[in-house]
Each structure stands twice: as structure tokens, then as C-alpha cells.
Amino acid sequence: MNVKGRKALVFGGTSGIGLSTVELLVAAGANVVSISRNPDKAAASTPDGVRLVACDVTNEAEVEALCQAEAPFDILVSAATGGDRAIGPFLSMDMKGFQGSFDKLWGYANVVRHGTQHLPNDGTVVLVSGAPARRCKPGQVSLSAVGGSVEALARALAPEIAPKRINVVSPGTIDTPMVPAQGAERDEIYAKMTGNNLLPRAGLPGEVAEALMFVIQNDFVTGTTVDVDGGWLLS
């Protein structure tokens, strides 16, 4: 796909991986709508020409109305987290927290369900899972279960929506605003999280966004998960 002049909807497009994807799409000439719950907070960091729209991906009615209003479009990306994620041992976990972690999956399901029907036959969908989906480290049961569900959803949907395409990008530990700490404390957190990686550092949002651009632009890729994890799966 040549994205120049094509319209892209990016859910979760105002920070982290989503924002970096918006930036790359704009640089390639796409017309981009960036969507989040609180887009006004991101106005200063949003590239010129990008339209900001408010939507809660966990609200199916909001997602359906937005997709109808923005149709037609060619590229559908969701990097929205959906909300808080439960961390810790599963057997002692608050089950409401575990259940709440799946807001990410429900948000993706809403986006795919109501967005895919407005794509042309050469349109494409990209979702973001996470390395714990296939190599779960201690305390990451909820992340693994949700990420695995996202990847299974894409594989299951690929035959159903063909020739439209759907793919997943799976990041490892990425330096994003999801970690609120700053300065030396932030550096220490990421050093601890990535010390055993083959590439012992946190990835950058732009490095993950480049993988999203690959699956958007390569018309012969569907039902696939692309890893951008610094060697997480092998460490």
C-alpha cells in the first residue's frame, strides 16, 4: 500500500507507539485522524494537519458512531491500552483487576468490528499486543492472557475479512508515558526491566511504529505477528 493520500484512523494515537505511528503516517503523506479519550491533552505534540477526535474504545456505541462518521478510510490502527492492567501473581490477584485488564481486548474488538466494514478490499488493520503473550515473566499473567487473545483474534479474523488484511505488532519493554517516573528513577526502572534482554535497553516508540508501517504497507502480510522486543522471546 502506498499510504500517500490514504486516510488512516489511529486509536490511541496521542502518545507512545500510537503517536509515533501517526508521525510516520503523516510523513508518508497519509491523512490521519488521531483518536483518544482525552485528545485535548495531546494537541501540542500532535503533528500539523492531524485531526484529533475523542472516543473511548471500550464504549461500543462511541466507536460505531465514530467509524460511521469517518468512513470511508483505508487504514485502521489501534494502539489504545483500554485502561489499567493488573500485575502480580494470578492466584492472589483481585479478579476485578484481572477482568479489567481485558478492556484492551474489548476495545480492539469494538474497533475491528465497527471499523473493518468501512475499509476497501485493499484496506488494512493493525493491532498491538505485547511480548508477554508468548513469553510470560513473573507477575505478567494478565498481560500474557490479554496479548495472547489479541493475537488469536487477528489470526482468526484474517481468513474471514480477506482480502482486507489484519496484523499484530508485539512490542517488548518500550519507553512510553505508561511509566510515569522521571530522571534517574525512570532509568533504574527500565534498566531493571530490560537487564536480561539480548538488547539490554528499552525500545523506542518509533522503533515499534516502523513495524506498524511495515505491515500497513506490505500487501502480502496478513494474520501475522511482528516482534519488536529487543530479544525478549529469546532471553
The domain ranges of the chain are 7-234
**196 pLDDT higher than 80:** yes
Question: Among 81-90, 94-103, 124-133, which is the least confidently predicted range?
Answer: 81-90
Q: Picking from 53-62, 101-110, 124-133, 168-177, which range would have the lowest pLDDT averaged per residue? A: 168-177
In this structure, which CATH number among 3.40.50.720, 3.40.50.300, 3.90.700.10, 3.90.400.10 belongs to the domain 7-234? Answer: 3.40.50.720
Instruction: Say what the pTM is.
Output: 0.93
Label residue 53 exposed, middle or buried (CB < 10 Å: 0-12, 13-18, 19+): middle
Q: Which of 3, 158, 10 is nearest to 70 (CA)?
A: 10
Kindly tell me if the per-residue pLDDT of 157 is higher than 80.
Answer: yes
Higher pLDDT residue, 3 or 81? 3
**Best CA proximity match to 78, nearest among 155, 161, 156, 150:** 150
Task: Supply the mean pLDDT for the chain.
Answer: 94
In this model, does residue 28 exceed pLDDT 80? yes
Mean pLDDT of 122-137: 96
Q: Which residue has the cell 483474534?
A: 153
Q: Is the pLDDT of residue 158 over 80?
A: yes
pLDDT above 90: percentage of residues in the chain: 81
- Local confidence band at 195 (pLDDT 50, 70, 90 cut-offs): confident
Instruction: Mark out the alpha helices in the chain (DSSP H runs).
Output: 16-27, 60-70, 95-101, 103-115, 141-161, 183-194, 205-217
Cα→Cα distances 31→113, 128, 172, 207, 211, Å: 22, 21, 29, 21, 19
